[in-house]
Amino acid sequence: MVTWIEVFVLAGALFALLASGIPVAFAFGILNVVAAYYIFGSVEALSFLVQAAFSSVSNISLTAVPFFLLMGNIFVHTGLSKVVLDAVEVVLSGVKSSGSYVAVGSGALFGALMGASIASTAVLGSTLIKQMRLHGYSKRLTIGPILGAGTLSNLIPPSVGAVLIGGLGGVPIGDLLIAGMGPAALIIALFCVYIAWQSRQETSKPSPEAGPSLRARGRAIGSLLPLVIPVFAVTGVIYLGIATPTEAAATGSAATLFVALAYRRMSWKILKNILLETISISAMILLIVASSKAYSQLLAITGLSREIAAFMADTVPSTTVAVAVFVGVVLLLGCVMDPASVIFVTIPLFVIIIDQLKVDPIWFGVLFSMAIGIGGITPPFGLNLFVLKGVAPRDVSIRDIYRIAIPYVFMEVLALAVIIFVPAIATFLIR
């Protein structure tokens, strides 16, 4: 029987190692070796770690990770992001505060083509902030929509985070990817309502923009149509049951490569850089997966998860409150850690506990993804805040970004609360 002293030692040692700056994979590895030796009492028993590591990376569902990364890297390195931004800007031009809606709309499309929140925020910030400021947009109408739109990548397929949550937690990845679309739509609606209200409050209005002709809008929509192919190749084939998430990841990568070639934005040099970056990031992620899975096995052997589940069952009035507590932990960790690290640190423990508490794993996985996104834009340590500061003009201070992010944090927390009490918004597409 595990004692609470051992609980705090295991948790404290992990966070101490992470705080020291040691890479996540090595932090897990060091702790795994020490804890396994303490539990089993012999060096030979450490072969358990090797078996746990092998079983984790041999999981076929994790094959989707490098393919989704490849898909996002093709999109970024070939400049397809500019195609999206230019087309959405033409379609929405003439609408009051259209630039803010462009940021939200582009963020949704980027989410469907990139699957990475930090990358989406960086692309939106580097391309839109300066342009919108020149057109007279206030900092609030410029920075806020970009910060909010960047978090949509955590929910819209192909979300790499959803694949990792599903792969580590044994949750059906296809259902988890599809379930994020309902909450994403709710968040987009909240953003648009707030932008409309905020634009009415502005004392300095953006310079008026003449609406393009119907033909120009048609051409802009036409330029986006090829991008429907990779979106359907992932989300469509999963929803229709044509392919598994792993197969959909492969078809999505192939479709994105095809679209990049069709736009004549691919070269051998670009392809080489894309492949090298994809291999490097994939190797890093799978190494962390192997070490974190071994950590979760140790938690199960010590009985830590059973102890915490029993404690939660005895002290909280309902499973909804227990889920809210776990989500709160993720929100806090998301402020100081990147999304992948939060997943690797918490999912091995959380999935065992929610299973014992009989919580719907799809619902919890969506809430988890939402909380990660919120943590990324929560002052003072949300990582997306610093990413945006890194690409923003000099007149945008970190204090400006903190102040502007707060309403978007509140809106996403409101959406999170709605999903907690109305789970059907996340699950209706898969039931």
Residue range(s) defining the domain that contains residue 340: 4-427
pLDDT surpasses 70 at 355: yes
The total number of structural domains in the chain stands at 1
363-380 confidence digits (pLDDT tens): 999 999 999 999 889 887
| Max avg pLDDT among 194-203, 272-281, 287-296 | 272-281
Output the six-digit token pair for 98: 């259209």
The pTM (predicted TM-score) of the whole model is 0.82
Classify each residue of 396-423 as buried b or exposed e, where b means 16 or more C-beta atoms within 10 Å of its C-beta: beeebbbebbebbbebbbebbebbbeeb
- pLDDT, residue 251, reads 93
- pLDDT, residue 272, reads 93
User: What average pLDDT score do residues 45-59 get?
Assistant: 69
CA separation (Å) from 223 to 81, 86, 145, 252, 401?
A: 12, 9, 24, 19, 33
Q: If 0-12 CB within 10 Å is exposed, 13-18 middle and 19+ buried, where does residue 176 land? A: buried
pLDDT surpasses 60 at 191: yes
- pLDDT, residue 56, reads 66
Considering the chain, what is the average pLDDT of its residues? Answer: 83
296-340 confidence digits (pLDDT tens): 667 666 666 666 666 766 777 778 888 888 898 888 887 767 777
